[in-house]
Amino acid sequence: MIHRRPAKRRRGRRFTARDECEPVQLGYAGMMLIFGLRTVIHRLGVLTLVCRNCGNQAAQVLSRRVTKFSLFFIPLFPVRTKYGMQCTFCGASYDISKDEASRLAAH
Ligand SMILES: [Zn+2]
């Protein structure tokens, strides 16, 4: 009669070469994706208005900030558009709504 030792119970999975390769299956080995967000500010115009911050009647710069998703430094599609005003007297800037911006730009 051959005496066999009971099989050892393995703790967890054994780390094999196949396991090592698993995360790479998401893409080609060595491939790198460079992506991010890029914001471009467009100046829509300059208006003389009473500043919300300092209360002076001064030139206010109306601008649109467009944030685009970029892949390999190429802007692809816009993800966010914001409108803002900046006072040239005190330097304060604040966000305004799209409706307000289009109404002011029409002046
Ligand atoms: Zn101001």
Find the 78 Cα to ligand 1 centroid distance in Å. 30
Contact 62, 47 (CB under 8 A): yes
Find the 59 Cα to ligand 1 centroid distance in Å. 9
Find the 99 Cα to ligand 1 centroid distance in Å. 21
Contact 79, 70 (CB under 8 A): no
pLDDT at 15 over 50: no
Check residues 97 and 33 and name the one with the higher pLDDT: 97
Find the 79 Cα to ligand 1 centroid distance in Å. 30
Q: What is the pLDDT of residues 53-72, one digit of tens each?
A: 999 999 999 999 999 999 98
Please, what's the b/e burial string for 45-80 (b: 16 or more CB within 10 A of its CB; e: otherwise)?
A: eeeebebeeeeeeeebbbbbeeebeeeeeebeeeee
Mean pLDDT of 72-95: 94
Find the 92 Cα to ligand 1 centroid distance in Å. 6
β-sheet bridge partners, residue 63: 43, 84
- Of the CA atoms within 13 Å of residue 78, those in its CB half-sphere come to 10
